[in-house]
Structure 1
Amino acid sequence: MWIKNTVLEGQYIRLEPLSIEHVEELQEAVQDGESWKLWYASVPAPEQMQGYVEKALSKAGEDQVTFVVRSIASGHIVGTTRYYDIKPEHKRASIGYTWYSAAVRRTPVNTEAKLLLMENLFEHCGALSLEFKTHFFNHASRRAIERLGAKLDGVLRSHQILADGSIRDTAVYSILASEWPAVRNHLKAKLTVR
Structure 2
Amino acid sequence: MSRWIEPVTLNGEHVTLEPLTAQHTQALAAAAADGELWKLWYTSVPAPGEEGAYVAAALAMRERDGTLPFVVRDGATGDVIGSTRFFNVDEKNHRLEIGHTWYAKRVQRTGLNTEAKLLLLTHAFEKLGAIAVEFRTHFMNHASRAAIARLGAKQDGILRNHQVGRQGELRDTVVFSIIASEWPAVRENLLLKLAR
TM above 0.5, one fold? yes
Q: Does 1:69 align with 2:76?
A: no
How far 1:66 sits from its partner (Å)? 0.3
How far 1:63 sits from its partner (Å)? 3.1
Q: Find runs of 4+ consecutive structure 1 residues off by over 3 angstroms.
A: none
Give deviations 1:9-48, integer Å, cap 9, x for gaps.
0010000000000001111110001111011111111311
Structure 2 CA distance for aligned equivalents of residues 97 and 127 of structure 1: 19
Please say if residues 154 and 172 of structure 1, whose CA atoms lie closer than 8 Å, have aligned partners that are also in contact.
Answer: yes
Structure 2 CA distance for aligned equivalents of residues 137 and 92 of structure 1: 25
Secondary structure of the structure 2 residue equivalent to 1:90? coil
What letter matches 2:41 in structure 1? W
* Structure 2 counterpart of 1:163, from 161, 166, 173: 166
How far 1:129 sits from its partner (Å)? 0.3
Structure 1 CA distance for aligned equivalents of residues 66 and 175 of structure 2: 19
Structure 1 CA distance for aligned equivalents of residues 78 and 195 of structure 2: 22
Q: Does 1:139 align with 2:142?
A: yes
Structure 1 CA distance for aligned equivalents of residues 6 and 124 of structure 2: 10
Aligned-pair identity in percent equals 51
Q: Show the counterpart of 2:34.
A: 32
Secondary structure of the structure 1 residue equivalent to 2:41? coil
Q: Show the counterpart of 2:20.
A: 18
Q: Show the counterpart of 1:93.
A: 96
Q: Show the counterpart of 1:6.
A: 8
TM-score (norm 1): 0.98
How far 1:163 sits from its partner (Å)? 1.5
Please say if residues 15 and 74 of structure 2, whose CA atoms lie closer than 8 Å, have aligned partners that are also in contact.
Answer: yes
Q: Which runs of 5+ in 2 are unaligned?
A: none
Structure 1 CA distance for aligned equivalents of residues 163 and 137 of structure 2: 11
Structure 1 CA distance for aligned equivalents of residues 179 and 60 of structure 2: 29
